Amino acid sequence: MRIKIRLICEICLSRNYTAFKHKDENERMTIKKYCKQCKKHTLHKESK
């Protein structure tokens, strides 16, 4: 089963993206994505 998660920019803490991941994965997802607020590519991590 997959669950929906929110991705948060590590610099400005804005919630920019949603993603899906498998429920049995324990570690948090981190992806380098474009942030509209910062106007550059930054690391986005999974919110709590």
User: What domains sit in the chain, N to C, each tagged with a CATH number?
Assistant: 2-46 (2.20.28.120)
- The answer to whether the pTM exceeds 0.85 is no
Check if the beta carbon of residue 5 is closer than 8 Å to that of residue 46: yes
Q: Is the pLDDT of residue 48 over 90?
A: no
- Residues 16-42 have pLDDT tens digits of 899 999 988 888 999 999 999 999 999
Integer Cα distance of 33 and 24 in angstroms: 24
Integer Cα distance of 43 and 22 in angstroms: 20
Check if the beta carbon of residue 6 is closer than 8 Å to that of residue 29: no
